[in-house]
Amino acid sequence: MVCCTPSTEISILTLRIDPQRIGYLKFILEGYDNMALVTTINAKEGIVIIRYPTTFHNDLSAIISDVSSRIFQDHAK
């Protein structure tokens, strides 16, 4: 399956997640070939950016929603 052509529009999502869960998020998204590229901006703060073809927005949103309880810090502690 080829998802991207040279004219594919790319979107960027910036997230602040639990720093200990960065590897988990990368592992999950790498399981979906050509869906997204995760780059760690600040490992200590848990800031990552996700670059993805805009056509995958709904799929990526569903995945992030599904794993949200495992990647986002509970600030109520």
Q: What is the mean pLDDT of the chain?
A: 89
pLDDT of residue 77: 45
Other CB atoms within a 10 A radius of the CB of residue 25 amount to 23
The answer to whether residue 1 sits within a structural domain is no
For 52, the token pair is 């993805």
The average pLDDT across 46-60 equals 96
Number of domains in the chain: 1
The answer to whether residue 38 sits within a structural domain is yes
The average pLDDT across 34-55 equals 96
pLDDT of residue 2: 53
The answer to whether residue 21 sits within a structural domain is yes
The answer to whether residue 76 sits within a structural domain is no
* pLDDT > 80? residue 10: yes
The average pLDDT across 7-26 equals 94
The average pLDDT across 55-70 equals 95
Give the structural domain span for 61: 10-71
d(CA 67, CA 52): 17
Q: Name which of 15, 10, 9 is nearest 68 in CA terms.
A: 15
